[in-house]
Amino acid sequence: MTTTALITGANKGIGLETARQLAARGMTVMLRARDVSRGTGADRELQAEGHAARLIHLDVTDGKLIAAAAAFVDAEYGHLDVLVNNAGIATMGGAPSATSLDGFRTILETNVLGVSAVTNAMLPLLRRAPGARIVNVSSEVGSVTLVCDHANPMWALPASLSYPASKAAVNMVTAMYAKELAGTGILVNAANPGYCATDLNGRSGFRSASQGAEVSVTLATLPEGGPSGTLWGYAWGGDPDKPYAELPW
């Protein structure tokens, strides 16, 4: 049976690198892209490298496109082994008191509601796989514990609201799906790729997109009996000899 993986926001950056690394492990990867022209370039790039890659047009805020994507996966493969909810957006920072409510709503719709909408649509397909994995790409800036710790690098970051709040919500979304699916063999975890150089932050990060993808790939390929309901990934300011760890909510 073909091992399948679907990655949202996979036309570039961490999403594309996640698709590349999962494909290198023998999976058939489906790249879900809102921008069809960029997505087409991404799937052709992976195909040129010898990987099994398919493009699916998807906007995580569009219910009709989500349903069409689920129908495509069902018709082509009949199941889904891995879902990586990677798609996300960010806006310019600013003090919480200066937050644009319209911008806040837009971020929540994509970063949080999109995760739930896609997961719900794909869940029947995930249930058909032997031990499926769901990975929600989150961030350490969504950890209330870390951003309030004066000894952690998070404390020095500007006190913006929209993006961190959206990732804190993704963490709770992850915990609730893990709770619902406990005992089914489906593992659900949140990934912290760390501060990676991507278009999302003007390429200001100190980790590469490939390094960030390693976190999602590890969670997507957990063995049977692995952890579920955790925030795991790069531990900024932690033990340099052990860069990856479970992080506090």
Q: Enumerate the active-site residues.
A: 163, 167
Rounded to the nearest 10 degrees, the angle between the axes of helix 162-180 and helix 114-127 is: 20
Tell me how far apart the alpha carbons of residues 139 and 174 are, in angstroms, rounded to a whole number. Answer: 12
Could you tell me the two tokens for 21? 């690394």
Using the CB atoms, write b or e for 212-221: b if 16+ within 10 Å. Answer: bbbbbbbbbb
C-alpha distance from residue 133 to each of 104, 112, 126, 136 (Å)? 29, 18, 8, 10
- Collect all residues with Cβ–Cβ distance below 8 Å to 125 and sequence separation of at least 6: 70, 73, 74, 77, 78, 79, 80
C-alpha distance from residue 27 to each of 61, 66, 95, 181, 239 (Å)? 26, 21, 43, 23, 32
Q: Which residue has the tokens 């040129």?
A: 48
54 beta partners: 30
Coil/strand/helix, residue 137: strand
Could you tell me the two tokens for 240? 């340099």
Question: Environment class of residue 1 by beta-carbon count within 10 Å: exposed (0-12), middle (13-18) or buried (19+)?
Answer: exposed
